[in-house]
Structure 1
């Protein structure tokens, strides 16, 4: 049975820190709902009601576009190891781009990554846990090196050109405000 909490507690924080991936859900008032898996060293818990995560270059940029219209965001973690648990944080988020006020402070919390597009700053209003009894056991092997190899093979200008080509609009044709 699902349980709701007003903020993250120490046990929930530990569960988040143990996971190697999380999922991000956003939706504009109309159009498609987006759910994206995220990994790498890209998430920081900043307090019981605040999480920041750095968004790296990807094939789409739905989250940025959705947040321009509706700042709702859900983050979800599934425990794939011994403890069956699903944890969700619901709240509102703001998008920060390079040069925005607050970018330098938050970016300093993460490893430097040349393909960082945005940082999302989530203000949590509800935390929910559920059983996760049907989530399979899965074993973590390692991080993929695919993103780093892609970045290493590109100049900064090529990464920014990719953003212009692939990341300036959502799948529904809405702007994302991604800067080249």
Structure 2
């Protein structure tokens, strides 16, 4: 059944690389809403080292993950096999938000594919890496990535992106601070 790993070995790295979707879960310190977000595009996730991973945070309808991480840092990333042998892999850890103004952002950004609408990079230091059976996860086929998010971001000019982020990304649904005013300026930023 399940196993705990002290690092991301080659087999786990290959499993992660083969999954077309992953899920990110965070929650406020107390009360409030738990957030689970599906993530796609295979070139938006990277393994930095044996216990550190990161993903590209693109424009979205809310800012829950960023707000929760800034409040308490808790995060879980889950991968599950929809084809092949049944498996669920969870990466538990402490996440941090790296915005374009932060030192190290340009180097991290090079690890990802080209996408418009980059808000930040989420870096996770894993303190627990575990798998379990995925016996009840259904078989599903992957057809292709949806390009709608990139297309949406591509259509917006800087002013429209700035207005959208100001309206939707300054605070979480529970009123926690999200992106600050200077962090919502998308002036020409893309990976």
TM-score by length of 2: 0.91
Give the Cα–Cα distance (whole angstroms) in 1 for the partners of residues 99 and 47 of structure 2: 19
Q: Which of 116, 119, 128 is matched with 2:118 structurally?
A: 116
Give the Cα–Cα distance (whole angstroms) in 1 for the partners of residues 21 and 159 of structure 2: 29
RMSD: 1.1
Q: Which of 86, 92, 95 is matched with 1:93 structurally?
A: 95
Deviates more, 1:12-21 or 1:2-11: 2-11
Q: Which residue of 1 aligns with 2:25?
A: 25
| Per-residue Cα deviation, 1:101-122 (whole angstroms, up to 9, x for no partner) | 1111101111232311110111
| Structure 1 stretches of at least 4 aligned residues deviating more than 2 Å after TM superposition | 111-114
| Per-residue Cα deviation, 1:35-83 (whole angstroms, up to 9, x for no partner) | 1000112100111101010110111110000011111111000000011
Q: Which residue of 2 aligns with 1:39?
A: 40
- Counting matched residue pairs gives 180
Structure 2 gaps, min length 5 = 185-191
- Secondary structure of 1:8's partner? coil
TM-score by length of 1: 0.96
Q: How far does residue 27 in structure 1 lie from its aligned partner after superposition?
A: 1.1
Structure 1 gaps, min length 5 = none
